[in-house]
Amino acid sequence: MTGVPAADRGWLAFPDGFVWGTATAAYQVEGAADENGRGPSIWDVFCRTPGKVARGETGDVACDHYHRVEADLDLMASLGLPSYRFSVAWPRVLPDGTGAVNQRGIDFYRRLVDGLLERGITPLPTLYHWDLPQALQERGGWANRESAQWFADYATVVAGALGDVVGTFMTLNEPWCVAFLGHATGVLAPGFTDDALALQVVHHLNLAHGLGSAAIRAAAPSAQVSLALNVAQVYPASDDPGDADAARHADGLANRIFLDPILRGAYPADVVADTEPWCDWSFVLPDDLATIGVGVDVLGVNYYTPSRVVGPASAGAASLDDAPAGRWTERAGARPVAWPGTRLAWTVPQPGPFTDMGWRIEPSSFTDLLTRLSRDYPGVPMMVTENGCAFGDGPGADGRVHDNRRIAYLQDHLAAVHAAIAAGADVRGYYLWSFLDNFEWSLGYDKRFGLVHVDYDSLVRTPKDSASWYSDVVRANGLLG
Q: Write out the catalytic residue numbers.
A: 174, 386
Residue 418, CB-side half-sphere exposure with 13 Å CA sphere: 20
The answer to whether 387 and 418 are in contact (CB under 8 A) is no
Find the farthest-apart pair of alpha carbons in the chain and give their distance in angstroms, rounded: 64
Return the bridge partners of 128, or none: 172
Cα 481–chain centre separation: 26
Angle between helices 103-118 and 69-78 (to 10 degrees): 20
**14: which DSSP letter?**
P
**68: which DSSP letter?**
S
Between the alpha carbon of residue 282 and those of residues 140, 143, 216, 232, the distances in Å are: 18, 13, 28, 27
**Dihedral angle at the C-alpha atoms of 76, 387, 229, 340, nearest 10 degrees?**
-130
Q: Which amino acid is at 254?
A: A
DSSP string of 384-414, one letter each residue: EEE----------TTS-B--HHHHHHHHHHH
DSSP string of 259-318, one letter each residue: HHHHHTSS--HHHHHHHTTT---TT--TTHHHHHTT--SEEEEE----EEEE-HHHHT--
How many CB atoms lie under 10 A from the CB of residue 316?
10
Q: Which of 237, 96, 236, 262 is nearest to 176 (CA)?
A: 262
CA distance 190 to 183: 7
How many CB atoms lie under 10 A from the CB of residue 190?
19
Between the alpha carbon of residue 264 and those of residues 67, 249, 453, the distances in Å are: 43, 19, 42
Neighbour order of strands in the sheet with 307-310: 234-236, 307-310, 346-347, 337-338
